Structure 1
Amino acid sequence: MRIVGFVILGLVIAVLVWAATGINAIPTKEENAGAAWAQVLNQYQRRAELVPNLVAVVKGAAEFEKSTLESVVEARSRVGSMQVPADILTNPEAMRSFDANQGALTSALSRLLVVVEQYPNLKATEGFQTLQAQLEGTENRIAVARRDFIEAVRSYNTELKTFPGVLWKNLLYQDRALMQQLEVEPAKMEVPMVDFGAGNSVEQ
């Protein structure tokens, strides 16, 4: 009987020691998710700063499709006027709004690059080539930043819902809430071909 008691006691101590090793897991994973989110914001900001220069270069092209340019300017304006609340990581509505606006700008820029294919003189200019390379590089960094953020949030949320994290949440971190994921998949830079039929309005 005594041996069984020692075994049970040993198991209890082992479980408690194992659980204690995770006491800092929640704040650590929270910090990781916060850092990943900051990188997402940083890359989106970098893209937003490229747009005005891109628009200025494209405006110089004769007979460039006005509606395409306007959609980029409008999407950039919405992104620029967004107020990112401090609680966005735990606010589903704010996260959806943020991601939808960024996705709209991604889509508008994708269409712009497709339309530019119809303007070889514009494509050949050094200024446009430089901006296009910077934009495509930024889109790649955005994709990486989003992926890292999604993984960091997944790890944090899992910690809150599984043992021993759920134990420490109830004991020490009751104010911690599940974080929101980026749900809207932004449009890829490679979009379906645009119909350049006679019905398109082209203005200078």
Structure 2
Amino acid sequence: MDFKKFLPWIIAVVVLIGIYGWVKGINNTAVTLNQNVEQSWGDVQTAYQRRNDLIGNLVNTVKGAADFEKSTLTAVIEARSKATSVKIDPANITPEQLAEFNKAQSGVSSSLSRLLVTVEQYPDLKANQNFLKLQDELASTENQILTARTRFNEAVKPYNSHIKTFPNSLFAGMFGFKEKAYFNSVEGADKPVEVKF
């Protein structure tokens, strides 16, 4: 049997198997990194959901103060409602969607800050153990949100790097992988917060 006759075919098959393995590796790594991003996004949403749940309890506790400012409570409830209505598909997070989500969540943070500043005028409410516990849980949740957002950005970086580097970028688009947006601070977050009593 003359092996020279089959040598080009053997080389072609080995090259094809090598290319298949290489392209498969690009795709499978992108899938794994994408799953990490989606899991991190789920953690972000869970942290925000915890805050929204706590806000409901906080508002109900504050409502007990007979002469408490209704407009402040209404602002918190409306901001919470608006924030929960913004939905994002983790498989296709665009900078515009993330900016809208961020804007809605900053509205919650802003109205919640006003509520907590206003509470300072009510000594009975400040002494209420349920309120104090909710306030502590809320502070803890804000830290969880910060951690979740940071981990989300940490998951996005290797994914974006993988699909944007050459030659992976040639195949990423064919497989449907798109660049994901990072969490950025909301507009005006670089300026100090002015607190008025």
Structure 1 contact 111–191 (Cα < 8 Å) conserved = no
Asked if 1:72 corresponds to 2:73, the answer is no
In the aligned structure 1, how far is the partner of 2:130 from the partner of 2:108? 21
Structure 2 contact 30–159 (Cα < 8 Å) conserved = yes
Q: In structure 1, which of residues 44, 48, 51 is the aligned counterpart of residue 48 of structure 2?
A: 44
Q: In structure 2, which of residues 82, 87, 92 is the aligned counterpart of residue 89 of structure 1?
A: 92
Q: Cα deviations across residues 109-166 of structure 1 (Å, max 9, x unaligned)?
A: 1221122222222111111011111111111100000011112112211211113532
- 1:185 maps to amino acid: V
In the aligned structure 2, how far is the partner of 1:137 from the partner of 1:85? 24
**How far does residue 37 in structure 1 lie from its aligned partner after superposition?**
0.2
Question: Taking structure 1 as reference, are residues 88 and 69 closer, same or farther at Cα in structure 2, changes over 3 Å only?
Answer: farther
Q: Residue in 1 aligned with 2:62? A: 58
TM-score relative to the length of structure 1: 0.74
- 2:92 maps to amino acid: L
- State the identity as a percent: 42
Question: Taking structure 1 as reference, are residues 88 and 99 closer, same or farther at Cα in structure 2, changes over 3 Å only?
Answer: farther
**How far does residue 58 in structure 1 lie from its aligned partner after superposition?**
0.9
In the aligned structure 1, how far is the partner of 2:33 from the partner of 2:53? 30
Asked if 1:178 corresponds to 2:175, the answer is no
Structure 1 contact 26–165 (Cα < 8 Å) conserved = no
In the aligned structure 2, how far is the partner of 1:116 from the partner of 1:101? 23
In the aligned structure 2, how far is the partner of 1:43 from the partner of 1:123? 25
Q: Residue in 2 aligned with 1:113? A: 116
Q: What secondary structure does 2:180 align onto?
A: coil
Question: Taking structure 1 as reference, are residues 48 and 88 closer, same or farther at Cα in structure 2, changes over 3 Å only?
Answer: farther
**How far does residue 185 in structure 1 lie from its aligned partner after superposition?**
3.2
Q: Residue in 2 aligned with 1:202? A: none
Gaps of 5+ in 2: 1-17
Q: Hey, which of these two has a bigger chunk of helix by percent?
A: 2
Q: Residue in 1 aligned with 2:140? A: 137
Q: Residue in 2 aligned with 1:128? A: 131
**How far does residue 89 in structure 1 lie from its aligned partner after superposition?**
3.4
Asked if 1:101 corresponds to 2:116, the answer is no
Q: Cα deviations across residues 63-103 of structure 1 (Å, max 9, x unaligned)?
A: 323322221011011123x1514367333333222221111
Q: What secondary structure does 2:143 align onto?
A: helix
- Higher relative contact order structure (alpha carbons within 8 Å, sequence separation ≥ 6): 1
Q: Residue in 2 aligned with 1:152? A: 155
The CA RMSD measured in Å over matched residues stands at 2.9
Question: Taking structure 1 as reference, are residues 89 and 112 closer, same or farther at Cα in structure 2, changes over 3 Å only?
Answer: farther
Structure 2 contact 156–181 (Cα < 8 Å) conserved = yes
- 2:53 maps to amino acid: E
TM-score relative to the length of structure 2: 0.76
Gaps of 5+ in 1: 1-15, 197-204
Asked if 1:192 corresponds to 2:194, the answer is yes
Structure 1 contact 54–131 (Cα < 8 Å) conserved = yes
Q: Residue in 1 aligned with 2:13? A: none
